[in-house]
Structure 1
């Protein structure tokens, strides 16, 4: 299926309503920052950024006038301090803003900031984006329902995201996967099944290979691989259910074939059950925080009516749960999907779980 048929051509950015704003403030996600997304748009020039193979990365390195650059550098150092430290300016003398890159590809058009510690040359990145309510829901759900914590800040129309380290999925598939052992390939197949299931449950869309990273960890005498989402722009917006299942993107074809080659059907079902069960446990352990987020999301407008109607019809067909038919907002579908996991996978045997679709 082509990208044009599977995905909408343009997703709008949705504003943060009062309830979500209060939620962000309560959980220390809302904070004052000295620079905003629109400030970074005032660059005076740019050059294309190429990778090590001299291929266009779709990022451009931007430049500012001498007067503006000084002010921007100080402000970006302050943002780094707020995001990673105590927010004071005591670390500013030891930081350097090595690069400000701008991506014109996709909906979010982010800025990527490279900050280097001049004492030891260690560096890290963070991203400056336009605030979008659906992305914030995606970040919060990832923080609570995945194995990974996320660090991000919101101030008015600007979103600051911590960099998620790893090997981009498309790069890994092309350059690293062919060198993996058969055991490592089987492990990667398992992780893709679990990643696919996790995205489907919480309706995180557009997980093409360049929107997630492979994270290798050395453990005794072998390497453990994990798959981690890095783009949350398509959290519960699209109407086609396939958008929320990474297996249906052509960019992931190699990973799907890996699953077919390395895992038996029973193993695939087992890993799906494991992921559903752990997501259900995370929902329970997140307590009032996820309850508050779900209640806010249910009342918010984060998609168009046509997408809501399409997705609820497809989910009813997939699960046979009539409650999906009653949904009028995308947040209600997300909430019902999480509730469906809790209702159907608590104290149920594996055989019963495998017999159920969702």
Structure 2
């Protein structure tokens, strides 16, 4: 299915409302940074960045005039220190800004900053983007409901995100999946089922293969693969439920074929239940933090009315829960979706406790 048929043409950025800004401040997500996204747009030229196969990466390497470069480098080192250290300047002497790349593809058009430690040549990346409330909700939900913690900072109209390491999904599918062993393919199929379920539960959309990474983890004598989202631009915006299910994007057909060829229907159902249960446990353990975030989202405008009406109708058709029909905002749809998963988990757990007591 093509992007035009499945998704809207372009998603607008949404402003951070005061309640969300206060939430971010309370959880140390805000800090006064020395450079803004708009500052990085003042580059004087650029060159195309090619990959190792001489293919256009859709990133360009930008450069600045001599009068601005020194100030920009110093500001980016300070941002790095704020994101990864204590914010002091004592590490500046060991850092070098090797590259500032600008992405020409997609909604967010981020800058990717490469910072190298000159003592040992280790390097890392971080990203500078325009602030978008829906992306912030996506980052926070990923932090609380996925197996992974995320580090990011917000200051006014600028968002700083840490780099998420891994092999881009499209690169993995093209170059590495064909040479995976049969057991590795079965394990990848399991992970894709879980990833698909997790995205649908928390309404994270547009997980085409280039919007997630495959992370190989060496475990004793074999490799275990994990799937991590890296783009949170499409959190709770689109009206079609299929957008929140990675299986429906043609870019993921190879992963869908793995599931069909490697897993029985009962196994697929088992992994879905496992993922719902894990997400439910994370919702419960996140306590007041996720409750506060969802309260804010319920009254925030992070989508358009037509999308809200469509999504609540499609989720009702799936769950037959009348509460979805009464939703007026995308935040309310999200709150009900998470509550539906949590209630089902608690109902099953209580039923099992009662059954065990009866058996005893």
TM-score, length basis structure 1: 0.97
CA distance in 1, matches of 2:38, 2:19: 25
Equivalence for 2:107: 107
- Residue matched to 1:37: 37
C-alpha distance in structure 2 between counterparts of 1:30 and 1:116, whole Å: 25
What is the CA distance between 1:104 and its match in structure 2?
A: 1.4
Paired residues for 1:120-131 under 5 Å: 120-131=120-131
- Figure out how many residues of one structure are paired with residues of the other and give that number: 351
Give the aligned partner of residue 282 of structure 1: 282
Aligned to 2:209: 209
Q: Which residue is equivalent to 1:87?
A: 87
Q: CA RMSD in A?
A: 1.1
How far does residue 146 in structure 1 lie from its aligned partner after superposition? Answer: 0.1
1:177 CA drift (Å): 0.6
Give the match's secondary structure for 1:224: strand
SS in 2 for 1:102: strand
Alignment pair present for 1:263 and 2:259: no
How many angstroms apart in 2 are the aligned matches of 1:297 and 1:30?
18
- In structure 1, C-alpha distance between the alignment counterparts of 2:54 and 2:142, rounded to whole Å: 34
- Aligned counterparts of 2:37 and 2:59: Cα–Cα separation in 1: 16
Q: How far apart, in 2, do the equivalents of 1:324 and 1:217 lie?
A: 39
- Offset at residue 343 of structure 1 (A): 1.0
- What residue number does 2:3 align with? 3
1:155 paired residue number: 155
Deviation at 1:236?
Answer: 0.5
CA distance in 1, matches of 2:7, 2:50: 28
Could you tell me which residue of structure 1 aligns to residue 190 of structure 2?
190
Cα-to-partner distance string for 1:292-333 (whole Å, 9 max, x where unaligned): 000000010000011011111111111111111101100000
Matched, 1:242 2:239: no
Task: Give the superposition deviation at 1:2.
Answer: 1.2
Residue aligned with 2:99, SS: strand
Shift in Å, 1:345: 1.9
Tell me how far apart the structure 1 counterparts of residues 319 and 57 of structure 2 sit (CA, whole Å): 40
Moved over 2 A (4+): none
CA distance in 1, matches of 2:310, 2:299: 19
- What SS is found at the alignment partner of 1:147? coil
- Counterpart CA distance in 2 for 1:37 and 1:53 is 31
CA shift at 1:76, angstroms?
Answer: 0.1
1:1-358 to 2 correspondence within 5 Å?
A: 1-348=1-348
Aligned mates of 2:220, 2:23 — CA distance in 1 = 42
Q: Deviations over 1:144-199 (max 9, x none)?
A: 00000000000000000000000000000010111111000000000000000000
CA distance in 2, matches of 1:233, 1:55: 25
What is the CA–CA distance in structure 1 between the aligned matches of 2:164 and 2:114, rounded to whole Å?
13
Q: Deviations over 1:66-114 (max 9, x none)?
A: 0101000000000000000000000001000000000010100000000
In structure 2, list runs of 5 or more residues that go unmatched: 353-360
2: CA distance between counterparts of 1:211 and 1:2? 16
Correspondence for 1:356:
none
Q: Secondary structure at the match of 2:272?
A: helix
Q: CA deviation at 1:344?
A: 1.3
Structure 1 Cα separation of the partners of residues 296 and 11 of structure 2: 21
SS, match of residue 159 in structure 1: strand
Deviation at 1:347, TM superposition (A): 4.4
Give, in whole Å, the separation in 2 of the partners of 1:130 and 1:10.
15
Counterpart secondary structure, 2:243: helix
- What is the alpha-carbon distance in structure 1 between the residues aligned to residue 294 and residue 205 of structure 2? 18
**Secondary structure of residue in 1 paired with 2:259:** helix
Rounded Cα–Cα distance in structure 2 between residues aligned with 1:342 and 1:187 = 26
